[in-house]
Structure formats: structure tokens, C-alpha cells
Amino acid sequence: MSCDKGCVCYRHCYNEWGVLEMLRSVLAASLFSVGLGAALPASAATFRWANDGDANSMDPYTRNETFLLSFAQNIYDPLVRRNRELKVEPALAMSWEQPDPLTWRFHLRPDVKFHGGEAFTADDVVFSYQRATGPGSQINSNFSTVKEVKRVDDLTVDFITKAPNPILLQELTQWGIMSKAWCEAHNATQPADLTKVKEENFATRNANGTGPFILGTREPDRRTTLRNNPAWWDKPEHNLTEVTFNVISSANTRVAALLSGDVDMIYTVPPQDMDRIGHTQGLKLAVGPELRTIFFGFDQSRPELLKSDVKGKNPFQDIRVRQAFNMAVDAKAIQSRVMRNQSHPTGLMYGPGVNGYTEASDVRHKYDPDAAKKLLAEAGYPNGFGVTLDCPNDRYINDEAICQAVTNMLARIGMKITLNAQTRLQYFAQISNPGYNTSFYMLGWTPTTYDALNSFFNLAGTRNGVRGVFNDGGWSNKEFDDTLDQMAVETDAARRQQQIERASKIIHDEAAFIPLHQQTVVWAYRSNVELQQMADNWFPLRYVTVK
Amino acid sequence: MSAIARWLDSDVAYSFRRSPVALMAALVLAIILAGAVLAPWIAPHNPLDLASLNLMDSRIPPVWDAEGQRSFPLGTDDQGRDILSGIMYGVRISLVIGVASVIFAIVAGIAVGLLAGYAGGVLDAVLMRVADIQLTFPAILIALLVDGVVTAALPQEMHERLKTQVLIFSIGISFWPQFARTVRGSTLVERGREYVMAARVIGLSSGRIMLTHILPNVLGPVFVIGTLTLGLAILSEATLSFLGVGLPPSSPSVGTLIRIGNDFLFSGEWWMTIFPGLTLVLLVLSINLLGDWLRDALNPKLR
């Protein structure tokens, strides 16, 4: 059977189910300690929590980023959602079936109303699909296998895929359904382009979903409030009447707010404060490995770097320079000193828990600054060169401190790195598609399907509009792309594993990226709060109870 | 009599020798200044040389702690930077910005004050109302505002390179009204004096009269305010850096050091923020005490 370029993954998903099973058992222990005790909702309560960065838009299509999507799903229900064990369960779609291998028929939940009172129908699903795949949307890669979405009747829609896609449900879990009438009435039928920092439309600051919470007030970068949706179609497991989300960028202030009782939960706990919080009575920590891999990438597509003092050529197109960078970064030191052992150094673009990961294949370039210096000299840069490192300062754990450490490590081989650490809004706007205005960047990625192909496809595949959307450095390798195509249709698990390892070996041998580590997710909260920590670092408020 | 001998014999020098507070303040200031000025030669490490930093040296406590190391007397920060050297270089930067912004404020203040006082009329009214309006805002707010506007107006790649100049400008601009007010007041008095009349009669230009005749006679109070403002300017820079809009961690001032260390207060790594904080307190306190003493020493009514 022919497979066009949109055919991301097929059949290998048998493996994925296996991974999910495994993940579930691994998670079980942490789940017990964190959330399963949440019995019947007690009396109504207010929940205040804080993070170092904001969910930059209330529009769930504007960026494919965990925090934004996770926040938006408190307001916007998807067709299918993940439950406490990360299993897919019905949400706005009550049931589904496959009349033929290319068609998924969803039966929608009747009598669901948007917060604004509009009835939820098949038209909203079709409209949301068009909006999510149209201009301005950053989540279109979730629909790379979908050919069209058809309304059958008021409460039935068909998804037609280009090829059989057994993991379509997983790909739809992050996709909140918006109201057609509301978007049209407020001139928001297209997502505002977040890469243009100042572009906004009505849906950027307002929201109208069918979800468990209704957006109250919205002050970007400061405070967002939500209130309970009494008309929610599902039986709430939470007991919250009001939720206040605060942006507190200073690590110290955030911890102080938790210690003093000003907030009930902080989503990003600085590693240095884990001990202190863990030993404070009345506070609890939730600690779990995250599937996210933090790595650095180089612009290898432009003939001349945008932010460098080397003119007329692109030093990152020279493999020796990329190898030198890889050899100069001491991931172990970052693990022990910056992350205080709350990380897992890696040489792969995906971590343990993701299908395809094996310890044997997880090899980093050996840390060797002297050899790195020699390589740089061979490449024609005996005194290094200047280049800017784009880095967020409120997105990943200790992101700025890591970038600073890497800057210092590269200084030891003679590089003059200018660190450009910015808030996530500016940072993503700069390094993301379509501009890719970066020369050297830090990024983190969690594969939504828990399979290595998702990381390869999004981060490293040659850009073609659907593939490589987050390949911000524009690395391109024919053999690698061919391997991905084979991987997407391979049915034999062993052979597919070989393909995954071959793809990883190409990345390693080409020194295409600098994989760094998987971070540990640490949340802290008051002991009267029950919540559910997810391994993908989603934080569903519908599982929060306050006693 | 040489100039030094004449100064040693003066009233000011006498009052200095008799004031234990002034002597102490001068001593502390001299030590801090010496450390800052001689930093490149006497500091144990060069914190600006990123290649010399080793991440494995990070978060080492001060030398008297059991885990302390002799090569890092006051410990290290989260990137392995020596705190003592960081402070010595940081004070340099803080002082340069403080002194430069006060000079900026003095020059601007004198220009406006002389002009307003000498010209009088509408120009005087307009300039002084502007100064009055600005005086109703706290200086730090003005500095924050100017810093934000100027930074936003500059292209991004120039931010880091021009940060020092931007800071000097924004802090300087927040302190000019005090100087302008004082100079204008003295100028109004001096303008009516006979020597100014005489200069006018022999046909000197207004500019010449202002600069060579009036200016020397209105400078006294400016020096006193200048000294006191220096402490405030250093504090302003520290505050801006502490708030994260000042100097970046790659060229840390004392305020930046305090900000970096502040994130580690709860985890017990107190030395990262306490020592730079203590240095800032001593520096500003000694400058202010000297300023107070100078004001009293120059005030004929208190003699």
C-alpha cells in the first residue's frame, strides 16, 4: 500500500499500547501517593496555584505546548480525554466506531452546552477541525493523518483518515472543541498568531468551552481566575468553586507564597527548595519522571547564521563544530549541580517510558573539552566564535541556569556565547515556525503518542509543512527521513526497534542536536489538597479537591 | 603653603578629624573602594571570564564552613562563581553606574537650574513645573519607566551591550530635579548680586556669566546633594538589577548578585545573597554618613 507523507504512524501502535500498559503500572505507585485517595468531593472550596510562566493564550490552538494546552483543557473539553491513568476515555464524544478502516464515527454527547449557552453540535466539531488545521493554528500536526471531518447529523461526525490510523484517539486528546457560533460572532474564526507577540483576537483573552471551568478574569502574565461550571455534563470529581492561577516568576517568591499559605500549590518547584518544602509540615511534594527531553539544537539551514559574528558561512553546517559542542557539554555536572539529581542525562531525543528507548542505545558524546577545542580548531575556529543561545527563563526546570552553565562550558572551548534568556511568550515567538529566528536554541519535547517516532517526526524530520514543524534548526538528512518513513509502516516490533535505533544513531553520528536530560516533575502543595500528577506534566483541575 | 597642607589646616579637615563617624565611614569606604579598584589584581578569581568557571565548584559554602574551600573565601554561587571576586567586580560596576548617573544628574540639573534661575519668566515656570511633577514620583519608578521605554526602543541585539548606558541614563534622569531646584534657588540669589551686574555692564554674554560667574558660586550645595544622591543612585541600580531589569548575570553588579542569591535563600545557601547584600549596606551607609558629615561641615550655622 502506498503511503503519502502524511502517514505518520500506523500499526506500530501495537507497541504503544504495550507502553501504555507498562506506564500505567509504573505510575500506579505514584498515583496512590498522590491522588487516588480523592474520595467524594467535600464542601466547596477555592484553589489558588502558581507557576513561573503564564499560559500565554486562552486559545487552545495557538501553541502546541503542554502548559498552555493543559490549562486550556480546564475550559475546553476535547472529544476524548485522558483519565488519571492516561487512558483515553469518552468526553464530548460518548462513543465511537470504525465502519471501515479509514473512517472513525464519533457519536457526540447530547444536551451539552457551551459556557455561553450555545448548544454543542457536530457543526462545532467540523468548525474546530477547520480552525485547528487552518492558518494561525500550531496544533495541525495532530491531524496529519486526517483527510476530512464530515457532519453526518447533529450529533454524529465522521473522521476520514488518509490511511488507517489506530492512534487517532490519542492524537485528539489535546484538542479542545470550540463553539462555531461564538468564534464567528467574535471574529475569532482563526487563531491569533502567537509568534507575532502582539497579535491577539477575542479568543486570546476570552474563552467559551464546554469544560468543567468557566474563565473568570484574565490578566496576562499576572492572574487568571476560573469558576466552577455548574452545568458541566460530567459528574465533577473536584470540589472547587473558584480557581486562581498566579504567575510568580521568581523561584524564591513562588516558594515563599506556598510556605506562607498564599497559594495552595506550585507547579514548578525549584530543585534547590525540594528539601525545605519536603520537611515543612502541612506541605507535600509530588515527584515523578517526566517524558520530556530537554535538548539544544543548531540552525543548520541558513547559509549564514542570524545571530553570530561568523559571516558568509554557517559554522553549524560543519559536523566538527556540532561534535565539539556535544563534547563540551557536561550533562553529568548539570545533573548534579544545577538539577540536584532531579534529572536523567541522556544522549537520545526521547527518554525512558517512551517506546523505542533502551538503555543500551542511550549514549552521549564523551565529555572531553580538550578534544572539543581541537575539533573547533580543525574546523577553522581556533579561538571559537560568537553566537547567541536562545533560551526560555520560565518554561523548563532551571532553564536559564542550565543555559548559563552551558554558556560557561562552551566558553572553556573558546566559544563566546551570548545568552538570550526570555519569557516563554517571546522565546517561542522567536524560535518557532514560521520564522525560526534562532541560531542555537534550547527546547524540550514530550512525544504525545509516547513513541520515539513522534519526537523524530516533529523535531528532526526535514521540514515539509507537517513533518519537522518543531525542527527549529532545519536539520535535514535523507537517510533519516527514509528511516522515519519505514518506521511509520513497519509492523514487526523488533525490526521497528532497529529502525528507531538507526535513526537515533544517525542523529548521534551527525551530532545533529545536543540531547541533555529528562527532567523530574516536581509539584508542591498543601496537605489539604488532593490532586493528580500526570507523567506528561498535565495538571487537570477536574481532579483537584480541597478539604 | 601647599594645597594639601592648606586643606589639612582647613575647618573641613578639622571637623573630619574630630568626627569618629566620618573617620569610620571613610575607612570602610576606602576598603570597599580599594577592593573594587584593585579587583583585577587582587581578586582571587575573574568572575567575568566564563571559561574559568567550573560547574562542579558551585554552591561551595564560605571557608569557615566544614565544606568550605580556601580558594573561595566567601563561597561560590550556583554557577561556581567566587562570591568574593563577584562582589569586588560587582562593586566596580555599581560604583561606575552610580557615579556616572549622579554626574549625569548633576550636569542636567545644573544646566536646567542655571537656565531657569537666570532666564526666569515663562521658561523658569515651565522647567520648574516639570521638575515638580517629576518630584512627586519616587525616583525608582521613574528609573524603571525610563529603563523599560529605552530598552523597548532599542533593537534586541543591542540590549546587553548598551545596558550600562541605559541604566546610567535612566537613573540619572530620575535624580536631576533635586539638583535643578537647588541650583535655580542659588542662581536667583546670585543673579541680583553686584558682580553679576558688573559682568553684565561690561557686556559679557549670558552664557559666559552663567558658567564662569554664577556657576562657581552655586556649586557648594550641589556637592553635598551629589554625595547623598550617590548612595541613592547605587541603591537604584541595585534595585533595578534585583528586579531583573538591570545588569544581566554575565556582568553582575551587586544588585544582580543579590538577585541570583535570593533564589537560594530557602535552600540554606545564604552566603550567595547575604555577602553581596552586606556589602551594599556598608557601601551605601558609609557614603551617606560621609554625605551627612559633609553637609554639617559645610554649614556655617553649625560651626
Global pTM reads 0.83
Say yes or no: A94 contacts chain B, CB-CB below 8 A.
no
Q: Which residues of B touch A414 (CB under 8 A)?
A: 51
Lowest mean pLDDT among A410-414, B147-151, B182-186, B283-287: B147-151
Nearest by CB: A408 against B79, B248, B269: B79
Has residue B10 been placed in a domain?
no
Q: Which of A420, A410, A421 is nearest to A385 (CA)?
A: A410
The pLDDT of A186-200, averaged and rounded, is 83
Nearest by CB: B265 against A252, A275, A407: A252
For residue B262, give the chain A residue with the closest CA.
Answer: A252
Lowest mean pLDDT among A36-45, A81-90, B106-115, B291-300: A36-45
Has residue B5 been placed in a domain?
no
What angle, 0 to 180 degrees and rounded to 10, lies between the N-to-C axes of helices B163-191 and B215-242? 150
Return the pLDDT at A41: 44
Say yes or no: B78 contacts chain A, CB-CB below 8 A.
yes
Return the pLDDT at B268: 86
Whether residue B229 contacts residue B105, with contact meaning beta carbons closer than 8 Å, is answered with yes
Contact A275 B58 (CB under 8 A): no
Touching B: A residues 12-41, CB under 8 Å: none
Per the DSSP assignment, residues forming a β-bridge with A157 are A106, A151
Nearest by CB: A412 against B51, B58, B263: B51
Positive or negative CA dihedral for A365, A396, A351, A142?
negative
Q: Which residues of B touch A409 (CB under 8 A)?
A: 55
Q: Give residue-wise pLDDT tens across range B109-157.
A: 999 999 999 998 999 999 999 999 999 988 899 999 998 898 888 887 7
Q: What's the gap between Cα A482 and its chain centre?
A: 25
Whether residue A203 contacts residue A183, with contact meaning beta carbons closer than 8 Å, is answered with yes
Select from A276, A408, A418 the residue whose CB has the most chain B CBs within 10 Å, as the one to mutate to test that interface. Answer: A408
Return the pLDDT at A5: 36
Q: Which of A371, A409, A347 is nearest to B55 (CA)?
A: A409
Touching A: B residues 138-177, CB under 8 Å: 156-157, 160
- How much is the ipTM here? 0.80
Domain range spanning residue B214?
Answer: 21-46+57-302
pLDDT-derived band at A33, boundaries 50, 70, 90: very low
Provide the number of CB pairs (under 8 Å) joining chain A to chain B: 66
For residue A307, give the chain B residue with the closest CA.
Answer: B157
Whether residue B192 contacts residue B121, with contact meaning beta carbons closer than 8 Å, is answered with no
> What's the CATH number where B25 sits?
1.10.3720.10
Has residue B52 been placed in a domain?
no
For residue A252, give the chain B residue with the closest CA.
Answer: B263
Which of the 8 DSSP states describes residue A396? S
- As given in the structure block, the three cell numbers for residue B31 are 576598603
Q: Give residue-wise pLDDT tens across range B192-247.
A: 899 999 999 999 999 999 999 999 989 888 988 999 999 999 999 999 988 878 88
Has residue B168 been placed in a domain?
yes
Contact B59 A418 (CB under 8 A): no
Whether residue A338 contacts residue B78, with contact meaning beta carbons closer than 8 Å, is answered with yes
**All structural domains of chain A:** 4-264+528-546 (3.40.190.10), 289-521 (3.10.105.10)
The pLDDT of A413-418, averaged and rounded, is 94
Q: Which residues of B touch A388 (CB under 8 A)?
A: 157
Has residue B62 been placed in a domain?
yes
SS3 A247: strand
Say yes or no: B250 contacts chain A, CB-CB below 8 A.
yes
What's the distance, Cα to Cα, between the start and end of chain B in Å?
Answer: 24
Q: Are strands A103-108 and A265-266 parallel, antiparallel or unpaired?
A: unpaired
Q: Are strands A45-51 and A265-266 parallel, antiparallel or unpaired?
A: parallel
pLDDT-derived band at A290, boundaries 50, 70, 90: confident
Has residue B1 been placed in a domain?
no
Select from B263, B269, B274 the residue whose CB has the most chain A CBs within 10 Å, as the one to mutate to test that interface. Answer: B263
Q: Give residue-wise pLDDT tens across range B13-48.
A: 888 888 899 999 999 999 999 999 999 999 999 988
What's the rounded Cα separation, in Å, for the pair B254 and B275? 10
Say yes or no: A460 contacts chain B, CB-CB below 8 A.
no
Has residue B74 been placed in a domain?
yes
- Domains contained in chain B, number: 1
Q: Give residue-wise pLDDT tens across range A82-138.
A: 999 888 999 999 999 999 999 999 999 999 999 999 999 999 999 999 999 998 888
Has residue B166 been placed in a domain?
yes
Contact A252 B79 (CB under 8 A): no
* DSSP annotation string for B236-284: HHHHHHHTTSSS-TTS--HHHHHHHHHTTTTTT-THHHHHHHHHHHHHH
What's the rounded Cα separation, in Å, for the pair A260 and A274? 16
Taking residue A76's Cβ as centre, other Cβ atoms within 10 Å add up to 28
Say yes or no: A272 contacts chain B, CB-CB below 8 A.
yes
Say yes or no: B80 contacts chain A, CB-CB below 8 A.
yes
Return the pLDDT at B3: 78
Nearest by CB: A330 against B49, B55, B262: B55
